[in-house]
Amino acid sequence: MKIAIIDYGAGNIQSIKFAVQRLGFEAILSSNVEEIQNADKVIFPGVGEAGSAMRMLRSTGLDKIIPDLKQPVLGICLGMQLMCTSSEEGNTRGLGIFDAEVKKFFGNLKVPQIGWNTITELQGKLFKNVSAEEYVYLVHSFYVPECSDEIARTNYGVDYSTALNRDNFYGVQFHPEKSSKTGEQILKNFLNL
């Protein structure tokens, strides 16, 4: 199986490569359009700021390629947020794959949310052998409000969509590569799609 992790200069992608490796697969880090298009599975990571991440995607032309991919694609953290219609972070227009507008946490909350929180209302193959209320690791200041593409939910001051799915596109707000055994199971489920 060919697994490509999209390398567009955003964040800690080494950890995702290692997590895939621990499951017995090899992943390549790539910004090459053909390599990404020909992979069996594509992982779209992201850590950092939405506006500058979108600029990096546009400068490499990857913003045009990603929405047309036909194989399973998994956006992680900022990767998932960039797959939405827009983000309040830097008033950024996203890739428009998921029908959701990313918002900033508000009210009397510490931001970023950093740490382990539960996932509930789990739907579909991505959560095979994962139970509701299992813990995942999250680090984020912006969130996806509950929407029709939701396949998992988390609460931090507000109930929000912590995982999304539409057609071949999946997104998780948490870091499966850092979420212990639960994260490994979710990553394994994605690779088995």
Partner 1 sequence: MLTKRIIPCLDIKNGRTVKGVNFVDLRDAGDPVELAAAYAEKGADELVFLDISATEEKRRTLAKLVLDVAEQLNIPFTVGGGISSVEDVDILLKNGADKVSINSSAVKNPDLINQLSEKFGSQCVVVAIDAKNIDGKWSVHLVGGKVPTELDLFEWAKEVENRGAGEILFTSMDHDGTKNGFANEALARLSEELNIPIIASGGAGNIQHFEDTFKKGKADAALAASVFHFKEIKISDLKNSLKNSGIPVRI
Closest among 69, 72, 67, 70 to 82, alpha carbons compared: 67
Structure tokens, 58: 């546009």
Q: Using CB under 8 A, pick the residue from 71, 88, 96, 116 that binds partner 1.
A: 116
Is residue 77 part of the annotated active site? The answer reads yes
The Cα angle at residue 140 between residues 189 and 183, in degrees rounded to 5 = 20
- Kindly state the DSSP code that residue 120 receives in the 8-state scheme: B
DSSP-derived pairing of the beta strands 142-145 and 134-140: unpaired
Decide the pairing of beta strands 142-145 and 98-104.
antiparallel
Q: Which is nearer to partner 1, 17 or 165 (CB)?
A: 17
Stretch that binds partner 1, among 33-41, 68-76, 115-123, 164-172 (CB under 8 A): 115-123
Q: Which two tokens stand for residue 169?
A: 């596109």
Q: Is 84 a catalytic residue?
A: no
* Interface segment toward partner 1; rule CB under 8 A; list 13-21, 32-40, 59-67, 163-171: 13-21
**Shortest CB 36 distance to partner 1, Å:** 21
Calculate ∠ Cα 38-43-45, nearest 5°: 140
Q: Is 114 in the site for partner 1 (CB under 8 A)?
A: yes
> Minimum Å distance from CB 163 to partner 1?
17
Catalytic residues: 77, 175, 177
Which residues sit at the interface with partner 1, rule CB under 8 A?
A: 11-12, 14-15, 18-19, 21-22, 47-49, 109-118, 135, 137, 139-141, 155-156, 175, 177-181, 183-184
